[in-house]
């Protein structure tokens, strides 16, 4: 087990001391959302206590402070994902809004009748529905890369799907249901050779594995702040400058304009083009603090520690009679989905909740991939760096007890 001072880290997260149903909270629902360290909570309070103002517009001290804080957060995002240009970083509500922006604005301009859009079978609904809507609006076709029985995207099938009508490929970096780490770099490379635009949904990778948008080579990379220890309601669209400049503005309004008459509007350059109206300033600042927090721990250290937790959890759960793991690609990130013979996933979730353990049960906003594995719902424990081997033992002990009660009863 690699050295990682998990107990020190846990002290930064006030909510981890919470008691639930008389038990100490065990938070294994990190794929849904993550908790916030004191550093993020305090940064947001500091903003409202000392800096709060609208940005860019007013010529007074607090406007300058708020603008500086907001633009500092943008620079932290740039550094965190290794983007070449800070003006390529656009603050939006989250992954869902970012994918919708790309589908509606870029897709609205560049996808036409008979064109094709490729996603994979393991996508979250947020990376399916906007493309389906685009396809319907344009008379285009949505094509789906199958996954194998372990839950990996099939590159051989992907190559067969690509053709001269393919306009865009949009895939998750990490599956929220299976934990599969998708070979996005290879997927992008194959698309790029054909001049096809690419999108990576980083919602589930951002907190768990290093991200380098220049190394990936994609045109767009999107993620949500709340999945990486930042606030809800703030997220990021990164786009390559040339591609963003070839994307029409999505929403119109204040902040994104240079000049308006009733005849015509001249838009602001990037990033303001895509930030119409007053954004979520305080939470962007909070997201910056979250990324700085993760930087201090080191994403490589986090990734290594989490992989040892995932491997341990997979081995322990996998040994329980009547338990079926969903998603078994080696080296997977964070997610330990399963079903248990004799119990509905809701029943398992309720028993775990009564013991203070939070997991998600249900379809995880990814119905196609669960159905690919022959189930409608799964139990989904999902990890972050503040989880411990002891917490996994607690989870496993309860599931083992349920499994043995079923066999004797």
Residue 54, helix vs strand vs coil: coil
Tell me the number of residues near ligand PMP by CB under 6 A: 13
Return the structure tokens found at 314: 């997979």
d(CA 44, CA 37): 11
d(CA 96, CA 337): 23
- 34 near ligand PMP (CB under 6 A): no
- 203 near ligand PMP (CB under 6 A): yes
If the CB atoms of residues 66 and 208 are measured against ligand PMP, the closer one turns out to be 208
- Return the range that interacts with ligand PMP (CB under 6 A); candidates 2-10, 75-83, 90-98, 246-254: 90-98
- 96 near ligand PMP (CB under 6 A): yes
CA gyration radius, the chain: 22
Candidates 257, 358, 365, 403; catalytic one: 365
- 329 near ligand PMP (CB under 6 A): no
Query: Least distance in Å: CB of 222 to ligand PMP?
Result: 8
- 172 near ligand PMP (CB under 6 A): yes
CB burial of residue 16 (10 Å; 0-12, 13-18, 19+):
middle
- Beta strands 265-267 and 323-325 are unpaired
If the CB atoms of residues 139 and 331 are measured against ligand PMP, the closer one turns out to be 331
Which of residues 30, 180, 224, 345 is near ligand PMP by CB under 6 A?
A: 224
| Exposure on the CB side of residue 284, measured as CA atoms within 13 A | 28
In the residue annotation, 291 being an active-site residue is answered as: no
Four-CA torsion 292, 333, 189, 234, nearest 10 degrees: -40
List of residues 6+ apart from 274 with CB closer than 8 A = 90, 92, 101, 105, 237, 244, 247, 249, 250, 256
Query: Least distance in Å: CB of 239 to ligand PMP?
Result: 17
Which of residues 34, 67, 100, 176 is near ligand PMP by CB under 6 A?
A: 176
Residues of span 355-384 touching ligand PMP by CB under 6 A = 365
Return the structure tokens found at 3: 């050295």
Residues of span 111-130 touching ligand PMP by CB under 6 A = 124, 126-127
Are 61 and 52 a contacting pair, CB within 8 Å?
no
If the CB atoms of residues 171 and 191 are measured against ligand PMP, the closer one turns out to be 171
If the CB atoms of residues 207 and 395 are measured against ligand PMP, the closer one turns out to be 207
If the CB atoms of residues 20 and 365 are measured against ligand PMP, the closer one turns out to be 365
Residue 12, helix vs strand vs coil: coil
- 94 near ligand PMP (CB under 6 A): yes
Helix axes 389-408, 345-354, angle to 10 degrees: 120
- Residues in the site for ligand PMP, rule: CB under 6 A? 94-96, 124, 126-127, 172, 176, 201, 203-204, 224, 365
> Residues with catalytic annotation?
365
């Amino acid at each position: 087990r690699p050295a990682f001072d998990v107990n020190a880290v846990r002290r930064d997260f006030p909510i981890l001391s919470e008691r639930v149903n008389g038990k100490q909270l065990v938070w294994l629902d990190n794929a849904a959302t993550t908790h916030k360290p004191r550093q993020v909570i305090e940064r947001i309070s500091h903003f409202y206590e000392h800096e709060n103002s609208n940005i860019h517009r007013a010529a007074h001290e607090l406007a300058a402070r708020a603008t500086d804080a907001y633009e500092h957060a943008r620079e932290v995002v740039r550094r965190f994902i290794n983007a070449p240009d800070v003006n390529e970083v656009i603050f939006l509500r989250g992954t869902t809004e970012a994918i919708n922006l790309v589908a509606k604005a870029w897709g609205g301009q560049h996808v036409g009748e008979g064109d094709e859009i490729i996603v994979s079978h393991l996508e979250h609904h947020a990376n399916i529905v906007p493309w389906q809507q685009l396809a319907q609006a344009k008379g285009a076709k949505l094509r789906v890369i199958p996954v194998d029985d372990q839950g990996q995207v099939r590159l051989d099938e992907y190559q067969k799907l690509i053709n001269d009508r393919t306009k865009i490929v949009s895939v998750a970096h990490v599956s929220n249901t299976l934990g599969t780490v998708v070979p996005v770099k290879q997927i992008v490379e194959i698309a790029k050779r054909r001049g096809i635009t690419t999108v990576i949904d980083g919602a589930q990778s951002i907190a768990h594995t290093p991200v380098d948008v220049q190394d990936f080579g994609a045109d767009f990379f999107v993620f949500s702040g709340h999945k990486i220890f930042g606030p809800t309601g703030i997220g990021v669209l990164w786009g390559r400058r040339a591609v963003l400049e070839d994307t029409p503005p999505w929403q119109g309004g204040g902040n994104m304009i240079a000049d308006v008459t009733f005849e015509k509007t001249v838009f602001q350059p990037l990033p303001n083009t895509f930030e119409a109206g007053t954004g979520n300033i305080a939470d962007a600042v909070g997201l910056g603090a979250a990324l700085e927090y993760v930087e201090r721990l080191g994403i490589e250290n986090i990734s290594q520690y989490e992989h040892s937790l995932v491997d341990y959890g997979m081995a322990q759960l996998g040994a329980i009679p009547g338990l079926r793991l969903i998603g078994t690609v080696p080296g997977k990130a964070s997610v330990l989905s399963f079903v248990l013979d004799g119990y509905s996933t809701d029943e398992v979730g309720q028993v775990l909740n009564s013991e203070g353990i939070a997991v998600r049960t249900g379809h995880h906003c990814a119905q196609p991939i669960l159905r690919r594995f022959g189930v409608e719902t799964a139990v989904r424990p999902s990890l972050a760096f503040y989880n411990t081997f002891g917490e996994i033992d607690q989870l496993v002990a309860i599931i083992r007890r349920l499994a043995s009660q079923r066999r004797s009863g």
